[in-house]
Amino acid sequence: EAGVAQSPRYKIIEKRQSVAFWCNPISGHATLYWYQQILGQGPKLLIQFQNNGVVDDSQLPKDRFSAERLKGVDSTLKIQPAKLEDSAVYLCASSRGNRVAVDTQYFGPGTRLTVL
């Protein structure tokens, strides 16, 4: 079974530029998550999708960040305009999303963003 795919793996941009990240979840996984991990910290949830609907985006800075999952499969996360403090690793994760006791999340390799 293929894992969560993300691209690009690395991105360097200047502040005020825009950037987009792509994620393809594990086949059959209904729930998709985007996390931000700043160096030395644990991942922080930005947004959670169930199929193509948003479940939680309470920690997404909506003035500059946007995300979509139009067909309920792959997803894009966009930052426009980027700030220096957006430098981080952006992790995508997916889970089955069924009503099970434990719905385990599996992570992709991440995209390391550097904002200069």
Segment near another protein (CB under 8 A); pick from 19-27, 42-50, 60-68, 69-77: 42-50
Shortest distance, position 13 Cβ to another protein, whole Å: 20
CA-based angle 46:100:69, to the nearest 5?
35
Q: Kind of pairing, strands 19-24 and 5-7?
A: antiparallel
- Measured CA to CA in angstroms, residue 27 lies from 53, 63, 92 at distances of 17, 31, 14
Shortest distance, position 108 Cβ to another protein, whole Å: 6
Tell me how many residues contact another protein (CB under 8 A).
25
Residue in 2, 53, 71, 101 binding another protein, rule: CB under 8 A: 101
* Positions in the binding site for another protein (CB under 8 A): 31, 33, 40-45, 48, 55-56, 89, 91, 95, 97, 101-110
